[in-house]
Copies of this chain bind each other. A is one copy, B any other.
Amino acid sequence: MAKQKKAPRPKAQTPKGFRDYFGVEVSERAEMLRLITGVYHQYGFDALESSAVETVESLGKFLPDVDRPNEGVFAWQEFEEDGNGDWLALRYDLTAPLARVYAQHRNDLPTPYRRYTMGPVWRNEKPGPGRFRQFYQCDADTVGTASVAADAEICAMLSDTLEKVGIPRGDYIVRINNRKVLNGVLEAMGVTDEAQQANVLRTIDKFDKVGEAGVRELLGKGRLDASGAYIDGVGLTDEQSEPVVAFLTSKGASNDETLTNLRAAVGESTVGTEGIDELAEIANLLAAQSYGADRIVIDPSVVRGLGYYTGPVYEAELTFEILDEKGRKRQFGSVAGGGRYDDLVKRFTGQEVPATGVSIGVDRLLAALREKGRLSSEAQGPVVVTVMDKARMADYQTMVAELRQAGIRAEVYLGNPKNFGNQLKYADKRASPVAVIAGSDEFDKGLVQIKDLVLGAKIAENATLEEWKARPSQFEVPRSELVAKVKSILEEQD
């Protein structure tokens, strides 16, 4: 007789590349999103929450990111008897759904349409350390206007938003560039071949890493990289390369100086001049609202997104230094980016609808705020009312009810109360600031014991015997003073 196989137990495991978020990770993000959307709302942006699932057809299936054109989505086919069900997929960003929503509802939506949206997006990529297949985005876009006043507005809003969530002025900078200026530069260089234009784009994308000299080499004959490999160059003459280098290094001491440098870089190019005029208009609009160069600045060395966007591009960087994993100082870097794109809904309607928008990297921004200790930490656990006498559960519940009515986070220990040590271990795991203790003795005398767990831990660690005696961490008070005493202990802890 064959042995009967027992069905194996399922593994309790998140799928590869996914993770769970606990406690303050969730509440801090929720609070940050609330602050961000508060600013967006005040700027006249309206909320949108599109469905997480889209048809593959309307999504376009692949990421628009030029570096990873083959990265995929999570997709499945709807069941239909004939096998011809629609293919559905989880959204991979919040821009593709905006395009679908705008095309679908355009007759009911105002024009221009300012909308913000936030939520998880999913990418079917190979997971890696710190690289997840589900993560948050928070976007704001203005659809249906070609006016660069919309770009300026989003940059101003981005600046306000960063300050609102706790990044002080001086610790961030919003930098603006324009794809049209780069197009002008290509025109000035006489680079008209599309493949060669793409090569130039790829090269300037490396400006951050290889610097001016490196870019010159890569535009010309090529370059030995750090690993010793030889990277072929684009094959331009030194003279041809000049406008690109001039473009990338044109940032002056003021916006005016930068714009003057750019005009020299693009020469006679019409599109280049148009791009510079747009930047000048943006600078002018921002100056009128007193956004100085300490907050928002024209900076042609911004290259991220130049390949994707069609007009102004902008990026918010945090400028304070942190230590990287190897203990070296480096700038925190980019937390938001965006720009203008003119073909948002063309796939659906055939019409060109100009749009501009920004995406905030929510998790990076949270990490930055944690790094700077700028999160109003809700990490504090609840006051724990311990259970000395199971029959007194109603009394313990009354205590927590009173504490909560006074605005204090509180709970009764609901595990097995037999081992009191376990109750204190529990309070420790919960990061409880205060434990309340009442047994039959206390009930008889109308008293409660209140233990300051934060002070208790400090004393246990550091204090001399004298200090220990002078600052008791446990107090016996009349039952009627429970709430007042807990409140005063919590206030002292802050």
Query: Which residues of A are at the interface with B, using a C-beta cutoff of 8 A?
Result: 9-16, 18-27, 30, 34, 37, 41-44, 46-55, 57-58, 60, 74-76, 78, 86, 88, 90, 99-101, 103-105, 110-112, 114, 120, 122, 133-134, 142, 144-145, 147, 149-150, 152-153, 156, 281, 284-285, 287-290, 345, 347-350, 378, 381-382, 384, 393-395, 397-398, 401, 404, 407-412, 414-415, 426, 429-430
Chain B residues with CB under 8 Å of A149's CB are: 393, 397, 412, 414
Residues A20 and B51 in contact, CB atoms below 8 Å apart: yes
Residues A409 and B41 in contact, CB atoms below 8 Å apart: yes
Residues B47 and A27 in contact, CB atoms below 8 Å apart: yes
Q: A101 contacts which of B20, B74, B397 (Cβ < 8 Å)? A: B20
Residues B12 and A51 in contact, CB atoms below 8 Å apart: no
Q: A288 contacts which of B12, B15, B110, B397 (Cβ < 8 Å)? A: B397
Residues B53 and A378 in contact, CB atoms below 8 Å apart: no
Residues A49 and B20 in contact, CB atoms below 8 Å apart: yes
Separation in Å of the A78 CB from the closest CB of chain B?
A: 8
Chain B residues with CB under 8 Å of A100's CB are: 12-14
Chain B residues with CB under 8 Å of A86's CB are: 15-16
Q: A394 contacts which of B19, B88, B284 (Cβ < 8 Å)? A: B284
- What residue in chain B is nearest A381 (Cβ atoms)? B44
Q: A289 contacts which of B49, B76, B397, B410 (Cβ < 8 Å)? A: B397
- What residue in chain B is nearest A160 (Cβ atoms)? B404
Separation in Å of the A422 CB from the closest CB of chain B?
A: 9
Separation in Å of the A394 CB from the closest CB of chain B?
A: 4
Residues A58 and B13 in contact, CB atoms below 8 Å apart: yes
Residues B153 and A41 in contact, CB atoms below 8 Å apart: no
Separation in Å of the A31 CB from the closest CB of chain B?
A: 9
Chain B residues with CB under 8 Å of A284's CB are: 394
Q: A70 vs B350: C-alpha distance in the bound complex, in angstroms?
A: 42
Chain B residues with CB under 8 Å of A10's CB are: 55, 57-58, 60, 347-348
Q: Knowing A9-B348, A43-B411, A414-B149 are in contact, say whether A394-B14 is a contact too (CB < 8 A).
A: no
Chain B residues with CB under 8 Å of A78's CB are: 15-16
Among A26, A145, A381, A384, chain B packs the most CB atoms within 10 A around the CB of: A26
Residues B395 and A288 in contact, CB atoms below 8 Å apart: yes
Chain B residues with CB under 8 Å of A398's CB are: 288-289
Q: A76 contacts which of B23, B26, B74, B147 (Cβ < 8 Å)? A: B74
Separation in Å of the A335 CB from the closest CB of chain B?
A: 21
- What residue in chain B is nearest A396 (Cβ atoms)? B149
Chain B residues with CB under 8 Å of A42's CB are: 404, 407-410
